[in-house]
Amino acid sequence: MAFVIEEGELKGWPNYSWAVKRLPADMAEAETVKEALESAASIRGDKTYAIFADTGEKLSYGELNRDANRIANALLEMGVEKGDRVALFLRNSLDYLRAIYACSKIGAVEVPVNWFYRELDAKHVIGNSESETIFVEEDLLPIVESIMPNLELKNIIVRGDSKEYPTMDSLDGKSSNPEADIKPEDPMAIIYTSGTTGLPKGAVLSHNSYVLSAKAITLWMVDESANDYTGLPLFHINAQIYSSLGMMFAGGIITLRSLFSVSNFWRDISNYECTHFNLLGSLANILYSLPPVEEEKDNPAKYVIIGGMPKEIWKGFEERFGVEVLEGYSMTEDPLPCLNPPGNYKKMGSFGVPVFPDLGHEAKVVDEEGNEVERGKIGELIRKNPAQMIGYYKAPEKTAEIVKDGWLYSGDFVKMDEKGYLYFVDRKKFIVRRSGENIASWEIEDVIKSHPKVQDVAVIPVADPKRGEEIKAFILPKAELKPEEIIEYMAGKVAYFKIPRYIELVQMLPYTPTGRVKKWELKEKEKEREDHGWDRDKEIPDWRKKFGAR
């Protein structure tokens, strides 16, 4: 039986029918992102929708609709059509929001590109998605130009100054709503996510995926009085769906910081009177580990929306900062969340229950054979719902590996209690989750293996109190090698957050009979150690500056 509250003012929670009663009629009926923005602009045109915390710049619902229309109509004039992919190689800004919603207006499919990516990763995402148009930051333009021979780009639009290409400021199409026949099942975005094998895969999410997942935020009593503060990147679904589109459905404000900043965090929340903020578990650890600052006292925030709140600091976090923890869970491939109920129904340590069971959102915990396990037993979480991805872009065989008979296999080990609440246990796959970034171990291993002095390597996650996890590489060298050589070698090839913090040079690695490294064995042994070996941050404190890692 699905979890549904049967009494009091929360009777009917977390059903879709309960959530939409809290929305204006036009917003409740919106089935595409285009409809959501146009309805919101009609209802709340003059109200502030977004604030850019770095500068204080504001954008109303009406202004966002007008600006998105101008960009969208300009894209149409450039030849961009429904279904065409548009890459967004941008940093958090109000322009990023304008670009997202411009794509939604004409049925173009936005492809966010991690702004920390260098040539290798950027080429894969832009090339694999077959993007023909790109919005790019002025300082990231050299990366795009260096990989252009491998791409199919027809239109380059620069955020900033450019003499060679059109700029975002110069786009000035009609301000009227474009006429476009967009259906809920049409693709809205391709979000790339790291896997355990092969290059990152692009999860194709529909307008329905976005709209249903954003409407779910109203289950947490978020309404037009809400002001959501986030420094999480817009190239992830957290900021795109739950903060940006979630606030649009609620009628609230999104206060966006260019990047998560400890020094600005509490000052921003106080200055902009934010009612809540979005975090990942690793960021909660960082805030909680720091000495108290004056701004955190009597801050206006009432709650924190978070995925992966460490159980050991949960209560202390609430008491110290005066906020209620609202825990949730989702995946890029399956953004309709599980949410921990508010108030007395909340269970500490749980990420809650599947929302919108009346729309067919189901969850099971299964064993290796796909059989459902007893309540309280550990197994893999699988879910089925109408918001899960259409599939991986151009990779039906990869889609079939995780979607079976409509059930999406998460790769996460969980437990379910007698009431249906879910509890995270561990990840099945060797993914390093560092400060919210999912980093595939194989990807780091491939780069390290290309070093001429390396024979073999195994990369695992190790626990870290601030980042959640850090990267450790066990390297089997074939010639004399120093750890700093690996740091320097990787600095120009991958984003800085993919460079291992810990490196251990070994004389042998544990192998299976089929020649695979027993990484689970290395991971278990590492749990017993307090010292993870050579530490990049201690040995080379200025490594990013020294080696030009960005």
Interstrand relation of 407-416 and 422-427 (parallel, antiparallel or unpaired): antiparallel
Whether 329 maps to a domain, the answer reads: yes
Q: Is the pLDDT of residue 514 over 50?
A: no
Q: Are 280 and 308 in contact (CB under 8 A)?
A: yes
Both tokens of 260, joined, read: 């998560």
> How many CB atoms are closer than 10 A to CB 415?
18
Question: Which of 350, 378, 412 corresponds to the end of one domain?
Answer: 412
For residues 138-154, give the mean pLDDT. Answer: 96
Same domain, 381 and 438: no
Judgement on whether residues 405 and 482 belong to the same structural domain of the protein: no
Neighbours of 531 (CB within 10 A): 7
pLDDT at 455 (0 to 100): 84
Assess whether 359 and 440 both reside in one domain: no
* Full residue range of the structural domain in which residue 48 is found: 8-176+186-412
Whether residue 1 lies inside any domain: the answer is no
Q: How would you classify the pairing of strands 276-280 and 227-230?
A: parallel
The sign of the torsion formed by the CA atoms of 189, 193, 195, 201 equals positive
Same domain, 496 and 375: no
DSSP H stretches of helix in 49-185: 61-77, 94-106, 119-128, 141-147
Q: 150 and 255: one domain?
A: yes
pLDDT value for 399: 96
Q: What is the pLDDT of residue 478?
A: 87
Q: pLDDT higher for 225 or 492?
A: 225
In the predicted model, is pLDDT for residue 204 greater than 90?
yes
pLDDT at 513: 44
CA dist., res. 278 & res. 82, Å (int):
32
Q: What is the CATH number of the domain that holds 533?
A: 3.30.300.30
Inter-residue contact 62 to 41 (CB < 8 Å):
yes
CATH number of 29's domain: 3.40.50.12780
My answer on whether omega of the bond before 14 falls inside 30° of 0, hence cis, is yes
Same domain, 396 and 459: no
- 2 domain residue, yes or no: no
In which residue are the tokens 């007008």 written? Answer: 66
Q: Are residues 439 and 354 in the same domain?
A: no
Residue 417 lies inside a defined structural domain of this protein: no
H/E/C letters for each residue in 283-340? HHHHHHHCCCCHHHCCCCCCEEEEECCCHHHHHHHHHHHCCEEEEEEEECCEEEEEEC
Is 492 among the domain residues?
yes
State residue 396's pLDDT score.
96
Please tell me whether residues 381 and 528 are part of one structural domain.
Answer: no
pLDDT tens per residue across span 40-72: 999 999 999 999 999 999 999 999 999 999 999
Q: What is the pLDDT of residue 550?
A: 82
Same domain, 542 and 438: yes
Task: Identify whether the C-beta of residue 544 lies closer than 8 Å to the C-beta of residue 490.
Answer: no
Model confidence pLDDT, tens digit, residues 67-124: 999 999 999 999 999 999 999 999 999 999 999 999 999 999 999 999 999 998 999 9
351 in a domain, yes or no?
Answer: yes
Predicted pLDDT at 199: 75
**Beta-strand runs (E) in 371-501:** 379-384, 391-392, 403-404, 407-416, 422-427, 431-434, 437-440, 454-464, 468-477
Q: What is the pTM of this model?
A: 0.84
| 395 lies in the same domain as 440 | no
pLDDT digits (tens, 9 = 90+) for 374-392: 999 888 999 999 999 999 9
Question: What pLDDT score was predicted for residue 437?
Answer: 78
| Tokens read off for 44 | 């709340």
Tell me which residue of 543, 549, 520 sits closest to 196, measured CA to CA. 520
Measured in degrees and rounded to the nearest 5, phi and psi for residue 215 equal -60, -25
Does 253 map to a domain?
Answer: yes
Instruction: Give the per-residue pLDDT at 30.
Output: 98
Q: Are residues 222 and 360 in the same domain?
A: yes
- Tell me, yes or no, whether 370 lies in a domain: yes
d(CA 322, CA 324): 7
Mean pLDDT of 424-439: 77
Percent of the chain with pLDDT over 70: 98
Q: pLDDT averaged over the chain?
A: 93
- Using alpha carbons, select from 238, 416, 254 the residue that is nearest to residue 328: 238
Chosen domain end from 349, 377, 412: 412
How many residues are listed for the chain in this entry?
A: 550
Residues 528 and 447 in one domain: yes
Confidence check: pLDDT of 198 > 80:
no
Q: Which residues contact 148 (CB under 8 A, 6 or more apart)?
A: none
Q: Domain total for the chain?
A: 2
Q: Which of residues 525 and 40 earns the better pLDDT score?
A: 40
How confident is the model over 504-517, as a mean pLDDT? Answer: 75
At residue 1, the pLDDT reads 76
- Asked which of 412, 441, 472 is the last residue of a domain, the reply is 412
Q: What distances in angstroms separate CA 463 from CA 399, 502, 531, one per listed residue?
A: 30, 12, 11
Q: Categorize the per-residue pLDDT at 516 as very low, low, confident or very high, splitting at 50, 70 and 90.
A: low
What is residue 515's predicted lDDT score, i.e. its pLDDT? 54
